[in-house]
């Protein structure tokens, strides 16, 4: 095995002075046992066996077919029917249909079977069509052509025929057909650039590295000579983790082992950019690729409307049972008279006389259930689904939510939660990229406590001010240059010529552009360039920079200690041209300060704190010089850790932690991340609509707090309550101190404040506004207290404090903690509707946890938008999405649901009353065709059109007056009061329909030809009046709202004619309170 060109043995074998051959064999045997323990796979590159693998047992791997479809031609019918009949309503009507088939019921089985068949068929067609689209998309991928190297020649194959171990060639702008280990490329340095937009949406280029021993094998003939095996972990879904090693066998040479990590793995779905071609060996194929393992269907979230529908269904089911029980009881009371039980014209058969009375009563009860079962609206589910599906297009079509910069609009990933957008009470938002632009600009830096800002003249370092800049003092020239070299060297930025980069515009003054997955790093490199030190790129493991004297300096890059969110820092180890070994490190102040000399901290900490208060993102920069002995030890430890297949990350973290110690602090940087446009106005509108906004961020407290003030989440009058490491302390008494603070804040917010007596919904605005700030370490103490602390009620007290605050800021949050916060609020009393919005992969957990998840199509990737329920380009679009679309969707579907129950009660009550006039003989009032078609077409289509197009208040009014949102909040239109209103209205109209026609028949009972009016005529007249009335009801509701809107317009034009210029706005900001009150009362929707 080799590292940096020389043999290295493991520390165990080195201590025992074992030879290279014995070390290799023993380590191989040990690692084989390790593989069995952790579950690894061995891949033969090019399917060429190795001499030392006689005992190798061929493993079975899946093919490269991608299957995202749910059904096949053979299992579609049974599987789809099983899923549909799991719904309570469908199962109920199936039972009713079977009862009609088995029992002698008064109505034909067609009356229940046909509507049920219609519902099942429509749903099956919809789901079948969606699955057919998935099949078609799968075939496009599976049948695409790829090139595989076999016998030193390129062979064209279909993608689905790739096998694990095949060597695949991929050319520029092609997507990788499976997960590949990068072996060689057309670039001499063995690098390639990829974009992972289809995986996480990251549009920036990412650099991947080939195994250094195979970089020269850049032709078909050369790559076909490679004999190697790859040992790696079994497939797992994390896109950013990979552990493995490649063992390369050469003729008459010792095997060479190289570690493999995420930088060597090319993921299926990623696209090759700015590289002519690459060679890679397939390690994961088909449904075992990371892309396939990350695939998940739409989140199964239930809206509050569905829960209300289920509650209303139970009420109507009780009404149905009550009607059937009353009619069954009265039937046998009626039949207690022998003349009524067995009249001379309808004598019973012997079989009927011998039947048990209990059995007859049960059969009659089932018959009445069948007769009245139409009170349960079976077609409502289909209508609601169609309304949600078709209505969701209005969000996608909204031109005001289209962003010209990214050329994209809003996206609806699930239409099941449209109405939830109108019920949100808590908004949880990320900061960077969501509230800010995630567009970084270098602002200033400090070196040894001296501040440097704006452009400097290059004649004497960069400490001399250029232009109107104030003089801040200067550090030593050598320290300035050391700081700028650190900025130029400590990063993972790559350089490409401007004309070779797709979609990137180079700086007009240079012929190249910087490429990085982090905008912070590019800002720092540009900042160093502004002060005279320019990064020129990486070539053959040498980093080139141009200094202020226009001289080129070369540094050999030995190791990169990559950034991770736990360490919150990254480092590089370089060798200068004079042979000096240097470690440069940059990271968050909380991770750098404990690792530098304590006497160096204070002068830099002042600048860091001030920059954070100004809202800038800060990083500290440190360095240390290494001896050859220290470097050799670090190099050996890093290589050993990289070769481990088990616990590699823990071992790497341990080496990183030991290496990044006893450093010297040089200075700090400040980078600005601008706020998104209309951010403050959007947050103010959400507050006015009765929503609480919580910011959950991984950023430091001072920066996040400054952002909260800038976006008006915190007002100048807001009293801030802190639960952070600074207030709790780091001593052994920190849990006791936390308990004291919680009790103090609880007393201030809950015990000492008078209870709200206004009765206003969501009226949490107190005479004094309070805001809460908490960090991740304190939150861990609250959610996971130690067992001996006796603080099991921490969480309850903390939650009560949070709910009383107008705004909450949670900083230094890990992704899992974000989800814990959302879950904690979601599960509080009353189950408030929560919404999470973010733009990065670290926001996915809270997006999935909330009732409604919204992704921002930002610069941190599209993983958030892919896992969300809705995606919007900017945070400002949240205002219209909730206040306009959410309000209208809720009002529309609320009336759709209430109307369905109303019209079905109108329909079935005359049937119930008719039993009192036919001796409870289960005689149907309506013709079978009317029973069948009433819900399918006569009354469903008008309300569907109404629920799609109704707009009782104009969009401009809804967005300009956020308080209208509160009028429909807390599920106001689907509470018991409006439900009872519609129920009693249906009962009253049902009575009018029946008795109106009944008394009409008292005057004339004969037709012109002498025939007596019969049952069919009576039922048809009732049905006709019924259909016209319930349809007219929907029309009148729509007409009433049109009249209200017209009245608003007439009033506005009338006042505008009297020279009131404020009324030319959609909603006047300076108009009188009486006018605002008039508008809200008139336009707040139709009364229930």
Catalytic residue numbers read 430
Q: How far apart are CA 446 and CA 469, in angstroms?
A: 15
Provide the 8-state DSSP code for 882.
Answer: I
Q: Are 405 and 286 in contact (CB under 8 A)?
A: no
Element (H or E) spanning 134, and its range?
helix 109-142
What are the Cα distances from residue 376, in Å, to 44, 115, 463? 63, 12, 81
Provide the 8-state DSSP code for 60.
Answer: P
Q: How far apart are CA 753 and CA 487, in angstroms?
A: 52
Q: How far apart are CA 265 and CA 1081, in angstroms?
A: 62
Q: Are 620 and 589 in contact (CB under 8 A)?
A: yes
Torsion of Cα atoms, 880 then 882 then 883 then 888, to 10°: 100
Cβ neighbours, 10 Å, residue 423: 27
What are the Cα distances from residue 702, in Å, to 429, 430, 672, 708, 775? 17, 16, 14, 10, 11
What are the Cα distances from residue 1010, in Å, to 152, 901, 1015, 1019? 100, 40, 16, 20
Pairing of strands 807-811, 692-696: parallel
| Phi, psi angles (nearest 5°) of residue 24 | -60, -45
| Phi, psi angles (nearest 5°) of residue 245 | -150, 150
Q: How far apart are CA 139 and CA 67, in angstroms?
A: 9
Farthest CA pair distance, the chain: 124
Q: How far apart are CA 518 and CA 681, in angstroms?
A: 29
Q: Are 426 and 835 in contact (CB under 8 A)?
A: yes
Pairing of strands 426-429, 834-838: parallel
Neighbouring residues of 960: CB distance < 8 A, sequence distance ≥ 6: 1065, 1066, 1067
Q: How far apart are CA 897 and CA 892, in angstroms?
A: 9
Q: How many Cα atoms occupy the beta-carbon half-sphere of 960 within 13 Å?
A: 16
Q: Cα–chain-centroid distance for residue 989?
A: 46
What the block records as the tokens of 826 is 């979601």
Helix H, strand E, coil C: the string for 457-500 is CCCCCCCCECCCCCCCCCCCHHHHHHHHHHHHHCCCCEEEEHHH
Neighbouring residues of 738: CB distance < 8 A, sequence distance ≥ 6: 723, 728, 778, 781, 782, 791, 794
Rg from Cα positions in the chain:
37
By residue count, the chain amounts to: 1088
Q: How far apart are CA 112 and CA 94, in angstroms?
A: 8
Q: In what order do the strands lie in the sheet with 807-811?
A: 411-412, 870-872, 852-856, 834-838, 426-429, 692-696, 807-811, 770-775, 719-723
Q: How far apart are CA 1007 and CA 1013, in angstroms?
A: 7
Q: Are 668 and 621 in contact (CB under 8 A)?
A: yes
Q: With the C-alpha atoms ordered 334, 335, 337, 340, is the resulting torsion angle positive or negative?
A: positive
Give one DSSP letter per residue of 352-367, joined into a string: HHHS-HHHHHHHHHHH
| Phi, psi angles (nearest 5°) of residue 787 | -65, -30
């Amino acid at each position: 095995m080799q590292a940096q060109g020389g043999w290295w043995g493991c520390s165990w074998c080195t201590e025992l002075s074992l030879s290279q051959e014995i070390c290799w064999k023993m380590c191989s045997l040990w690692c084989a046992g390790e593989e069995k323990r952790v579950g690894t796979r061995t891949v033969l590159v090019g399917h060429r066996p190795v001499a030392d693998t006689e005992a190798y047992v061929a493993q079975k791997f899946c093919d490269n077919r991608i299957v995202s479809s749910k059904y096949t031609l053979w299992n579609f019918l049974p599987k789809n029917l099983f899923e549909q009949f799991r719904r309570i309503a469908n199962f109920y009507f199936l039972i009713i249909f079977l009862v009609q088939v088995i029992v002698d019921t008064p109505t034909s089985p067609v009356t229940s079977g046909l509507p049920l068949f219609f519902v099942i068929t429509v749903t099956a067609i919809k789901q079948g069509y969606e699955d057919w689209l998935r099949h078609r998309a799968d075939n496009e991928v599976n049948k695409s052509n790829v090139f595989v190297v076999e016998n030193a020649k390129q062979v064209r194959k279909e993608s689905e025929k790739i096998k694990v171990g095949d060597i695949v060639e991929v050319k520029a702008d092609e997507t990788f057909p499976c997960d590949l280990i990068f072996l060689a490329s057309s670039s001499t340095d063995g690098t390639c650039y990829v974009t992972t937009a289809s995986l996480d949406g990251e549009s920036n280029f990412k650099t991947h590295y080939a195994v250094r021993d195979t970089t020269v094998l850049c032709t078909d003939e050369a790559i076909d000579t490679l004999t190697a095996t790859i040992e790696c972990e079994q497939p797992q879904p994390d896109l950013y983790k990979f552990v493995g090693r490649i063992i390369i066998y050469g003729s008459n040479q010792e095997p060479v082992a190289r570690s493999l990590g995420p930088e060597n793995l090319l993921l299926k779905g990623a696209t090759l950019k700015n590289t002519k071609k690459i060679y890679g060996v397939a390690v994961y194929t088909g449904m075992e690729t990371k892309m396939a393992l990350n695939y998940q269907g739409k989140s199964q979230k239930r809206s509050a409307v569905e829960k209300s529908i289920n509650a209303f269904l139970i009420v109507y089911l009780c009404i149905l049972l009550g009607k059937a029980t009353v009619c069954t009881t009265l039937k046998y009371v009626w039949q207690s008279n022998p003349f009524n039980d067995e009249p001379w014209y309808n004598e019973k058969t012997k079989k009927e006389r011998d039947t048990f009375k209990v059995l007859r009563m049960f059969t009659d009860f089932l018959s009445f259930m069948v007769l009245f079962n139409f009170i349960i609206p079976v077609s409502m589910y289909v209508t609601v689904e169609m309304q949600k599906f078709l209505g969701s297009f209005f969000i996608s079509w909204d031109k005001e939510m289209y962003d010209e910069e990214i050329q994209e609009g809003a996206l609806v990933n699930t239409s099941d939660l449209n109405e939830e957008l109108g019920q949100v009470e808590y908004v949880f938002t990320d900061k960077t990229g969501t509230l800010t632009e995630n567009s970084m600009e270098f602002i200033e830096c400090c070196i040894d406590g001296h501040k440097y800002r704006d452009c400097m003249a290059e004649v004497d370092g960069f400490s001399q001010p250029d232009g109107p800049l104030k003089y801040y003092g200067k550090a030593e020239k050598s320290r300035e240059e050391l700081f700028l070299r650190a900025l130029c060297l400590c990063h993972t930025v790559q350089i490409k010529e401007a004309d070779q980069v797709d979609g990137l515009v180079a700086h007009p003054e240079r012929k190249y552009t910087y490429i990085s997955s982090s905008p912070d790093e590019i800002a720092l490199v540009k900042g160093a360039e502004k002060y005279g030190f320019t990064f020129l790129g990486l070539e053959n493991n040498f980093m080139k920079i141009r200094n202020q004297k226009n001289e080129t300096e070369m540094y050999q890059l030995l190791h990169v200690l990559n950034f991770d969110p736990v360490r919150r820092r990254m480092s590089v180890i370089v060798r200068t041209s004079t042979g000096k070994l240097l470690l440069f490190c940059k990271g968050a102040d909380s991770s750098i300060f404990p690792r530098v000399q304590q006497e160096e901290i204070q002068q830099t900490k002042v600048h860091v704190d001030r920059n954070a208060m100004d809202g800038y993102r800060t990083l500290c920069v440190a360095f240390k010089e290494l001896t050859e002995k220290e470097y050799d030890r670090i190099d050996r430890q890093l290589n050993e850790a990289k070769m481990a297949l088990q616990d590699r990350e823990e071992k790497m973290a341990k080496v990183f932690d030991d290496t990044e110690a006893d450093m010297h602090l040089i200075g700090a940087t400040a980078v600005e991340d601008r706020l998104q446009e209309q951010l403050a106005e959007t947050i103010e509108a959400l507050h006015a609509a009765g929503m609480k906004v919580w910011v959950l961020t991984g950023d430091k407290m001072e920066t996040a707090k400054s952002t909260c003030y800038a976006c008006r989440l915190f007002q100048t009058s807001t009293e801030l309550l802190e639960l952070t490491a600074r207030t709790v302390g780091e001593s052994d008494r920190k849990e006791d101190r936390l308990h004291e603070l919680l009790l103090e804040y609880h007393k201030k917010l809950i015990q000492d404040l008078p209870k709200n007596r206004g009765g206003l919904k969501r009226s949490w605005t107190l005479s004094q506004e309070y805001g809460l700030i908490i960090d991740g370490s304190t939150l861990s103490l609250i959610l996971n207290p130690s067992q001996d602390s006796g603080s099991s009620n921490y969480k309850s007290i903390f939650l009560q404090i949070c709910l009383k605050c107008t705004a909450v800021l949670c900083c230094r949050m890990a992704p899992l903690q974000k989800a814990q916060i959302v879950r904690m609020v979601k599960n509080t009393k009353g189950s408030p509707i929560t919404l999470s919005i973010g733009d990065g992969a670290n926001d996915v957990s809270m997006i999935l946890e909330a009732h409604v998840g919204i992704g921002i199509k930002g610069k941190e990737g599209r993983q958030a938008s892919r896992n969300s329920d809705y995606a919007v380009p900017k945070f400002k679009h949240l205002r219209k999405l909730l206040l306009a679309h959410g309000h209208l969707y809720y009002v529309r579907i609320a009336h759709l649901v209430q109307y369905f129950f109303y019209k079905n009660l109108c329909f079935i009550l005359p049937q119930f009353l008719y039993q009192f006039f036919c001796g409870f003989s289960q005689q149907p009032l309506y013709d079978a065709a009317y029973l069948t078609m009433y819900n399918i077409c006569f009354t469903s289509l008008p309300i569907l059109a109404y629920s799609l197009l109704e707009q009782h208040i104009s969009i401009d009014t809804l967005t300009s007056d956020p308080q209208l949102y509160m009028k429909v909040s807390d599920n106001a239109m689907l509470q018991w009061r409006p439900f009872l209103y519609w129920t009693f209205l249906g009962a009253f109209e049902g009575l009018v329909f029946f008795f109106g026609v009944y008394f009409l028949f008292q005057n004339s009972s004969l037709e012109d030809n002498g025939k007596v009016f019969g049952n069919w005529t009576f039922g048809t007249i009732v049905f006709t009046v019924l259909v016209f009335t319930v349809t007219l009801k929907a029309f009148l509701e729509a007409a009433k709202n049109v009249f209200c809107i017209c009245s608003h317009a007439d009033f506005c034009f009338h006042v505008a004619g009297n020279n009131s210029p404020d009324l030319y706005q959609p909603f006047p900001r300076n108009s009188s309170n009486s006018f605002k009150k008039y508008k809200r009362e008139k336009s707040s929707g139709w009364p229930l």
